[in-house]
Amino acid sequence: MEGVDHLADERNKAEFDVEEMKIVWAGSRHAFQVSNRISRLVANDPIFEKSKRAVMSRKELFKNTLKKSAHAWKMINELRLSDEESIRFRSFMDQPGFVDLHWGMFVPAIKGQGTEEQQQKWLPLANNMQIIGCYAQTELGHGSHVQGLETTATFDPQTDQFIIHSPTQTSSKWWPGGLGKVSTHAVVYARLITNGKDHGVHGFIVQLRSLDDHSPLPGITVGDIGMKFGNGAYNSMDNGFLKFDHFRIPRDQMLMRLSKVTREGKYVASDVPRQLVYGTMVFVRQSIVSNASNALSRAVCIATRYSAVRRQFASQNGGTETQVIDYKTQQNRLFPLLASAYAFRFVGEWLKWLYTDVTQRLEASDFATLPEAHACTAGLKSMTTSATADGIEECRKLCGGHGYLWCSGLPELFAVYVPACTYEGDNVVLQLQVARFLMKTVSQLGSGKAPAGTTEYMGRAQHLLKCRSSVKKAEDWLNPGMVLEAFEARALRMAVSCANNLSKFENQEQGFSELLADLVEAAIAHCQLIVVSKFIAKIEGEIKGKGVKNQLKNLCYIYALHLLHKHLGDFLSTDSVTPEQASLASHQLRSLYSQLRPNAVALVDAFNYTDHYLGSVLGRYDGNVYPKLFEEALKDPLNDSVVPDGYHEYIRPLIKQHIRSARL
C-alpha cells in the first residue's frame, strides 16, 4: 500500500532519540544539516536517477556519467556550494567517475607535493575544472612495489625539459581512474634520472590531451583498459592505460616541494623524509576508512529493514509468521555488521583527526608521528575495507533470494565497493606495513623510548604479557577496562610472538618472508584493538539525547565481543581469555542482541539515507517491498513484450520440431 509505513511498529519500539543519534552519526549538528539538505537536493533531481545503470551499454553508462558530472558541477557553481557541500554532493550522486580522482587525488597531489608557485599556477585551473586530472602511478607490471615503477623522467639540460618515456610494455601506466577518456592532465609517477643517475620515483604534472579538441598530444598513447567486474557498477569509471614516447615537459612540471632539479640538472633532496612523496596515498587511505562506514551502513540499512519486513515460518503456536530479524542466527550475522558500521564511523573520525595532526606537524618539520600515521592509515584502510566488502556480501545473503536481484541495491554496491580491498594499496601488502611498524616498536621496548599513540599499550608489556583476565561473570564483559585489556593482551602477545620467532632467523628479511601470514594476523589484531579503543573512547565522552549513549554502548560491546568470538583462536592461544570467559562473552553477546533488537530499524534510520541514495527496493524507508519488486520486474527490458525477441528464430522451431518428432 502506497503511503503506509510498513515499518511503523518497528519505529515505535525504539528506546532512544533517533534525531539525536542522526547527529552523532553525522559527526555534528552542522554536518547533519549539510548531509540532510544535500542528499535531498540530489535525490529530487531527475538527472541523478540511477535505476537503469545495469541495463545501459558501457558507452551509454559512460556518457551518462559525463552528463551527471557536468550537471553536478553546474549546480555546485550556481548554488555556490562550499567545499564540504560539494564533497557531500558528489558522494550522494553515487556514481563513480573521473571527478573522484580529479578532486580525490590530482588536486591533493599538487597541494601536497607542489611548491607555492606550482600550486598558484595549477590549482586555480584544476579548481575551476579548466583542466581535469588523474593520478597515474600504477603500471602494467607494478602496482604494490612503487619503487619498481619503470617509467622514466630524464632531465635534458639542453632544453631544460624532462623526457617522459615508457621503456617497456610493462611500464605502461595501467588502471588510473579518469585517465582512459577524460583527463587532460595527470600527475605521473616516474623514475627521475639526472646525469645518468636514478633518484627513484617522483611526481610530474603532464598534459595528455589537447585543450582544444581533446586529442592525445604527440608522443602519448592513451585509452580505456576495458570492462570491470559487474554490470553498471565501477564501469562508469574510465580506468586507463598510457604510454609515453619520449614526451617532453618543462622542468618546472616536476612536483618540487620535497626535492628539486636545478637548471643545471643538479638533484637537490630536501631534508624531509622521502616517503612524503607517498603523501597523497596516506590522505586517500584516511578518507577510505570513513567511506567504509558509508558503504557498510548502506548494506546494513537494506538488510535490517528487509529482515524486519520479511517473514518466514509460523511460530510454534501458529499465528503470524516470524519476522526473519527475530531469528538469533539472523541477529548473530546482522547486528555485528550494524555495530561495525558505527565502529568504522568513529574510528574514521579519529583517523581524520590523526591525519590533520600529522599534517600540521609536518608543516612544522616534526616528522616523529609520520610512521604511526602511515601504519594507522594503511592498517585501518585494509581492515575496514576487507570487513566492509565481506559485510556487504553477508547482507546480500541475509536478504535471501531477493538480495541477489539487482534492484536490492546489494550486487551493485558490492561490485563498486570490492576493489577498495585492492586500490590504494592491496590489503595484505598494507597490513605488512603495519607489521613492520609493530616489529620495530617491539624491538625498541626496553630501550628507554616509550611507545606512544596507538602503540602506547606496548609500553605496559610487563603487565600485559603476564596478566590474566579478571572476567568472572557475563556482565564483566561490559566493563571497558576488562574488554580493552583482553584486546591489548592478545595484540601484544601476537606481536611479541612474531618478534620472538623472527629473532630465530639469522637473516631478518628471510624471517619476515617466512612469517608473513602470522605477521598479517598480528597486524589485524593491533588494528582491531585501535577500533575497539576508539569506540570505547566515544562512549565514554559526552553524548546527548535520550537513550543514545545506551544504544552506542550496546553496539560497542557487540562489536568487541563478536570480534572476540570470531578470533577466539587468537584469544585462547595467547591465553588472553580462558574458554570459560569466552563462553561468558558469548552469553553476554546474546543478551546484547536481545537488547538491540527493538532498536534495530531506528538505528539504521539514524543513517538518514534517502531512498535515492540507498537505491534498494528491499531497503525502502516505508518497507513496502513486494509491490515495488513487481514494479521493478515489469520495468525490465525483457518484459517490454510478452513474446520475446528471438521466439520465431529459436524457440518456435524447437517446439515445432518436438511436436513433429512426438507425432512420429
Ligand X SMILES: CC/C=C\C/C=C\C/C=C\C/C=C\C/C=C\C/C=C\CCC(=O)SCCNC(=O)CCNC(=O)[C@H](O)C(C)(C)COP(=O)(O)OP(=O)(O)OC[C@H]1O[C@@H](n2cnc3c(N)ncnc32)[C@H](O)[C@@H]1OP(=O)(O)O
Ligand Y SMILES: Cc1cc2nc3c(=O)[nH]c(=O)nc-3n(C[C@H](O)[C@H](O)[C@H](O)COP(=O)(O)OP(=O)(O)OC[C@H]3O[C@@H](n4cnc5c(N)ncnc54)[C@H](O)[C@@H]3O)c2cc1C
State the binding site for FAD.
138, 177
For residue 236, state whether it binds ligand Y (rule: CB under 6 A). Answer: no
Q: Among residues 100, 476, 622, 632, which is the contact residue for ligand X, using CB under 6 A?
A: 100
For residue 425, state whether it binds ligand X (rule: CB under 6 A). Answer: yes
Q: Among residues 429, 467, 482, 537, which is the contact residue for ligand X, using CB under 6 A?
A: 429
Q: Among residues 41, 66, 87, 429, which is the contact residue for ligand Y, using CB under 6 A?
A: 429
Q: Give the DSSP letter string of 543-584.
A: --STTHHHHHHHHHHHHHHHHHHHTHHHHHHTTSS-HHHHHH
* Alpha helices (runs of H) in 368-479, residue ranges in sequence order: 370-398, 410-417, 427-443, 461-464
Q: Among residues 51, 119, 323, 422, which is the contact residue for ligand Y, using CB under 6 A?
A: 422
Q: Give the DSSP letter string of 176-239.
A: -TTTTTT-SEEEEEEEEEETTEEEEEEEEEEE-B-TTT-PBPTTEEEEE----STTTGGGGS--
Contact 172, 139 (CB under 8 A): yes
Rounded-to-integer distance, Cα 420 and Cα 291, Å:
10
For residue 97, state whether it binds ligand Y (rule: CB under 6 A). Answer: no
Rounded-to-integer distance, Cα 440 and Cα 465, Å:
18
Q: How many CB atoms lie within 10 A of CB 574?
A: 19
**313, three cell numbers:** 515460518
Contact 627, 313 (CB under 8 A): no
Compute the least distance from the CB of residue 436 to ligand Y, in Å.
11
Q: Which residues, 6+ apart, have CB-to-CB distance to 432 below 8 Å?
A: 516, 519, 520, 523
Compute the least distance from the CB of residue 582 to ligand Y, in Å.
31
For residue 259, state whether it binds ligand X (rule: CB under 6 A). Answer: no
* Alpha carbon distances (Å) from 35 to 26, 76, 349: 8, 14, 16
Compute the least distance from the CB of residue 607 to ligand X, in Å.
17
Specify the stretch interacting with ligand X by CB under 6 A; choose among 36-44, 98-106, 541-549, 626-634: 98-106
Q: Nearer Cβ to ligand Y, position 324 or 527?
A: 527
Burial (Cβ within 10 Å: 0-12, 13-18, ≥19) of residue 589: buried
Footprint on residues 169-188 left by ligand X (CB under 6 A): 177
Q: Nearer Cβ to ligand X, position 192 or 532?
A: 192
Compute the least distance from the CB of residue 413 to ligand Y, in Å.
15
The one-character DSSP state at 472 is -
Closest by Cα among 495, 553, 559, 574 to 528? 559
For residue 335, state whether it binds ligand Y (rule: CB under 6 A). Answer: no
Q: Give the DSSP letter string of 120-179.
A: HHHHHHHHTTSS-EEEE--BSS-SS-GGG---EEEEETTTTEEEEE--SGGGSEE--TTT
Phi, psi (5° rounding) for residue 456?
A: -55, -35
Q: Which of 139, 394, 424, 521 is catalytic?
A: 424
Rounded-to-integer distance, Cα 653 and Cα 643, Å:
15
Rounded-to-integer distance, Cα 512 and Cα 508, Å:
6
For residue 239, state whether it binds ligand Y (rule: CB under 6 A). Answer: yes
**One-letter identity of residue 417:** Y
Q: Among residues 61, 72, 105, 536, which is the contact residue for ligand X, using CB under 6 A?
A: 105
Q: How many residues touch ligand X (CB under 6 A)?
A: 32
Place of cell 592461544: 573
Q: Nearer Cβ to ligand Y, position 101 or 486?
A: 101
For residue 451, state whether it binds ligand X (rule: CB under 6 A). Answer: no
- Per-residue binder mask for ligand Y (CB under 6 A), 496-535, x = binder: --------------------x-------------------
For residue 151, state whether it binds ligand Y (rule: CB under 6 A). Answer: no
Rounded-to-integer distance, Cα 208 and Cα 223, Å:
11
Give the SS3 label for residue 313. strand
The sign of the torsion formed by the CA atoms of 608, 611, 617, 622 equals positive
For residue 138, state whether it binds ligand Y (rule: CB under 6 A). Answer: yes
- Per-residue binder mask for ligand Y (CB under 6 A), 368-407, x = binder: ----------------------------------------
Q: Among residues 436, 565, 587, 628, which is the contact residue for ligand X, using CB under 6 A?
A: 436
For residue 423, state whether it binds ligand Y (rule: CB under 6 A). Answer: yes
Rounded-to-integer distance, Cα 577 and Cα 571, Å:
6
Specify the stretch interacting with ligand Y by CB under 6 A; choose among 259-267, 424-432, 540-548, 614-622: 424-432
Q: Which residues, 6+ apart, have CB-to-CB distance to 81 below 8 Å?
A: 38, 75, 89
For residue 199, state whether it binds ligand X (rule: CB under 6 A). Answer: no
For residue 418, state whether it binds ligand X (rule: CB under 6 A). Answer: no
Rounded-to-integer distance, Cα 388 and Cα 173, Å:
29
For residue 287, state whether it binds ligand X (rule: CB under 6 A). Answer: yes
Footprint on residues 400-419 left by ligand Y (CB under 6 A): 419
Compute the least distance from the CB of residue 629 to ligand X, in Å.
27
Closest by Cα among 626, 553, 549 to 588? 553
What is the number of H-type helices and E-type strands within the chain? 24, 13
Q: Among residues 182, 220, 261, 288, which is the contact residue for ligand X, using CB under 6 A?
A: 288
Compute the least distance from the CB of residue 138 to ligand X, in Å.
5
For residue 425, state whether it binds ligand Y (rule: CB under 6 A). Answer: yes
Compute the least distance from the CB of residue 369 to ligand X, in Å.
10
393 labelled catalytic: no
Query: For the chain, what is the radius of gyration of the CA atoms?
Result: 27
Query: Nearest residue to ligand Y, using CB?
Result: 143
Q: Nearer Cβ to ligand Y, position 324 or 413?
A: 413
Q: Among residues 108, 143, 480, 619, which is the contact residue for ligand Y, using CB under 6 A?
A: 143
Q: Which does 239 bind (CB under 5 to 8 A by kind): ligand X, ligand Y, none?
A: ligand Y
Q: Among residues 275, 322, 369, 444, which is the contact residue for ligand X, using CB under 6 A?
A: 275
For residue 469, state whether it binds ligand Y (rule: CB under 6 A). Answer: no
Footprint on residues 131-170 left by ligand X (CB under 6 A): 135, 137-138, 143-147
**233, three cell numbers:** 557498477
Q: Nearer Cβ to ligand Y, position 32 or 189?
A: 189
Contact 326, 314 (CB under 8 A): no
Q: Which does 263 bind (CB under 5 to 8 A by kind): ligand Y, ligand X, none?
A: none
* Alpha carbon distances (Å) from 640 to 33, 53, 493, 633: 42, 17, 63, 11
For residue 379, state whether it binds ligand X (rule: CB under 6 A). Answer: no
- According to DSSP, the residues that pair with 192 across neighbouring strands are 153
For residue 281, state whether it binds ligand X (rule: CB under 6 A). Answer: yes
Q: Among residues 122, 155, 175, 535, which is the contact residue for ligand Y, using CB under 6 A?
A: 175
Residues labelled as active-site residues: 424
- What residue ranges bind ligand X (CB under 6 A)? 96, 100-101, 104-105, 135, 137-138, 143-147, 177, 275, 278, 281-282, 284, 287-288, 291, 370-371, 374, 420, 423-425, 429, 433, 436
- What residue ranges bind ligand Y (CB under 6 A)? 101, 135-138, 142-144, 175-177, 234, 239, 419, 422-426, 428-429, 432, 516
